[in-house]
């Protein structure tokens, strides 16, 4: 496919046409390699593996010597869902009414297209640059950005700062820059009992009777009141499971699944201990088992400084809006990048991400490209 790298709409259409549902590469990384090599980038496409997870192909491209400014993102997308519900095919890249349709249009092939176009439009730019593109952001996130960063640093690469192109704007381009993310911790409480016949409750121990006290302990007191840059941490119950499949059987256990989104007042380890202490006090340590999923990373903040300011200036110069510095939302690969260099996130409007008929305004692709151009100009002056 002959694609003009200076045209973000054409690049976005070509990327959307690649069915790169996690963990499939789908042709998206091959397309990017074909666009970046003529722009002077050395391109690598390492594949990483880990037990219990699918192999994932990634892309790392760089040009110039010294610390590189990084454009980061992912070409993998979530499944399209019921294809018959789409007005246009999820991998068609069709433009209807000034909007580009397709899975990944917003999250986040559109932003990657704008990154490529911004670089292609400035051939005289001397700033060392890198592209850090994964195929595992929507999946387990084991063989993607984290592994790719370790690989790049091991070969001697260093980074001055990073712009991650996740869809950060709730309503309009220029609304918000993500300067941090909350941590995420998931766990399961298994309340134990003794299974038995409902007609002979004295011979059984119904664990559901302990459930109200356990839930009250988990949900009663707020974890905190928030901080200067973060909203209050919150614990949400996301699943309850019990029952032996018959009305005349008292179950032997009940399971409570929960997730905590937490700010920079906590670490995952501290919250694990806090949850256990609450349950101990409510139902006793012998009444339950507690298991946690591997933490996705603690909360982090990129404090106000040169990177945050130059990104905010570029957005305001193009849109007339001074973006909010936000830490809301879910997790992103910024949680891995922040250990290597300052990182901020700015991309498209996220209203339709992961939805049927995911789409982006064509005008926003051009405007985001101009914002990225302005960012590159400012990075060159640092």
pLDDT score of 7 more than 80: yes
β-bridge partners, 96: 99
pLDDT above 90: residue 292: yes
Confidence at residue 60, expressed as pLDDT on a 0 to 100 scale: 98
Closest CA to 116 of 368, 315, 382: 368
Specify whether the CB–CB gap between 190 and 98 falls below 8 A: no
pLDDT in tens, 224-256: 999 999 999 999 999 999 987 899 999 999 999
**Which domains does the chain carry?**
8-181+299-380 (3.40.630.10), 183-292 (3.30.70.360)
pLDDT at 192: 97
SS (H, E, C) 177-206: EECEECEEEEEEEEEECECEECCCHHHCEC
Q: Please, what is the angle between helix 362-380 and helix 109-120, to 10°?
A: 50
- pLDDT(186) > 80: yes
Residue 381 has pLDDT above 80, yes or no: no
Does the structure show a pLDDT above 90 at 85?
yes
Told to judge if 76 belongs to the known catalytic residues of this protein, a careful annotator would answer yes
Per-residue pLDDT at 213:
98
Mean pLDDT of 1-30: 96
CB atoms within 10 A of CB 169: 26
- Which of the following is catalytic: 107, 136, 137, 253? 137
Is residue 381 within 8 A of residue 317, CB to CB? The reply is no
Mean pLDDT of the region 33-58: 97
- Predicted TM-score (pTM) of this structure: 0.90
Mean pLDDT of 144-158: 97
State yes or no: pLDDT of 1 exceeds 70.
no
Say if residues 110 and 7 touch (Cβ distance below 8 Å). Answer: no
Q: In 3D, which of 115, 80, 110 has the Cα closest to residue 14? A: 110
Identified catalytic residue from 25, 57, 76, 345: 76
Report the pLDDT value the prediction gives residue 329, as an integer from 0 to 100: 86
Per the model's pLDDT, the better-predicted residue between 340 and 298 turns out to be 340
**Which of the residue ranges 62-66, 139-143, 287-291 would you say has the lowest mean pLDDT?**
139-143
Region of 113 (left: φ > 0; alpha: ψ -120 to 50; beta: rest) is alpha
φ and ψ of 52, to 5 deg: 85, 5
Mention every residue, 6+ apart, whose C-beta is less than 8 A from residue 65: 128
Q: Quote the tokens at residue 280.
A: 């101990």
């Amino acid at each position: 496919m002959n694609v003009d790298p200076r045209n973000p709409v054409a690049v976005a259409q070509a990327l959307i046409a690649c069915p790169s549902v996690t963990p499939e590469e789908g042709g998206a990384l091959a397309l990017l390699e074909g666009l970046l090599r003529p722009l002077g980038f050395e391109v690598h496409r390492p594949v990483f593996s880990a037990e219990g997870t699918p192999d994932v192909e990634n892309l790392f491209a760089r040009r110039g010597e010294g610390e590189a400014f990084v454009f980061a993102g992912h070409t993998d997308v979530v499944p399209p869902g019921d294809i018959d519900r789409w007005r246009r095919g999820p991998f068609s890249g069709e433009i209807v009414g000034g909007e580009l349709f397709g899975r990944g249009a917003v999250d986040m092939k559109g932003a990657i297209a704008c990154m490529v176009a911004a670089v292609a439009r400035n051939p005289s730019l001397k700033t060392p640059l890198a592209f850090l593109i994964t195929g595992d952001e929507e999946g387990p996130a084991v063989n993607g950005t984290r592994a790719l960063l370790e690989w790049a640093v091991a070969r001697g690469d260093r980074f001055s700062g990073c712009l991650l192109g996740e869809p950060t704007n709730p309503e309009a381009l220029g609304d918000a820059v993500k300067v941090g993310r909350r941590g995420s911790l998931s766990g399961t409480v298994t309340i134990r009992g003794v299974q038995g016949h409902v007609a002979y409750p004295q011979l059984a121990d119904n664990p559901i009777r302990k459930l109200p006290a356990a839930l009250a302990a988990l949900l009663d007191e707020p974890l905190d009141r928030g901080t200067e840059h973060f909203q209050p941490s919150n614990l949400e119950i996301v699943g309850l499971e019990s029952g032996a499949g018959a009305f005349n059987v008292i179950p032997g256990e009940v399971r409570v699944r929960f997730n905590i989104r937490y700010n920079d007042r906590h670490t995952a380890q501290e919250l694990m201990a806090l949850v256990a202490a609450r349950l101990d006090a409510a139902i006793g340590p012998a009444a339950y088992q507690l298991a946690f999923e591997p933490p996705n990373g603690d909360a982090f903040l990129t404090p106000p400084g040169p990177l945050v300011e130059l990104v905010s200036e570029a957005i305001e110069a193009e849109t007339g809006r001074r973006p909010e510095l936000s830490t809301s939302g879910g997790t992103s690969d910024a949680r891995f990048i922040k250990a290597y260099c300052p990182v901020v996130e700015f991309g498209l409007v996220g209203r339709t991400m992961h939805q049927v008929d995911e789409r982006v305004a064509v005008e926003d692709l051009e405007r985001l490209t101009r914002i990225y151009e302005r960012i590159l100009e400012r990075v060159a002056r640092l």
